[in-house]
Amino acid sequence: MASNATLHASRSAERTLDLLEALADAGPAGLTKLARATDIPTSTTLRHLRVLTERRWVERREDDTYVLGPRALRLAIHTETAATWSRLRAQSQHHLQHLAEETGESAYLAVRSGDEALYLATAEGTKTIRHVGWVGRAVPLEGTAVGEALLENEPAGPPHRNLGAVEIDVGAISAAIWLGDRVVAAVSLLGPASRFEPADTHDSEGAVLDTARSIELSLRDSS
Partner DNA sequence: GCGCAGATTTCATCTGGTGAAATAGCGTTG
Partner DNA sequence: CAACGCTATTTCACCAGATGAAATCTGCGC
Interacting residue with DNA among 17, 43, 61, 71 (CB under 7 A):
43
**Is 42 a residue that touches DNA (CB under 7 A)?**
yes
Spell out the SS3 assignment of 122-149: EECCCCCCCCCCCCCCEEECCCCHHHHH
Considering beta carbons, is residue 36 or 71 the nearer one to a copy of itself?
71
Binding segment toward DNA, per CB under 7 A, in 12-20, 73-81, 187-195, 214-222: 12-20
Please return the burial class of 103, using the count of CB atoms within 10 Å of its CB with bins 0-12, 13-18 and 19+: buried
41 versus 198: smaller Cβ distance to DNA: 41
Q: Give the nearer residue to a copy of itself in terms of CB position, either 81 or 153.
A: 81
**Binding test (CB under 7 A) with DNA, winner from 20, 24, 47, 179:** 47
Q: Which stretch binds DNA (CB under 7 A): 29-37, 149-157, 162-170, 182-190?
A: 29-37
Number of H helices, E strands in the chain: 7, 9
Residues that bind DNA (CB under 7 A): 8-15, 30-33, 35, 40-44, 46-48, 64-65
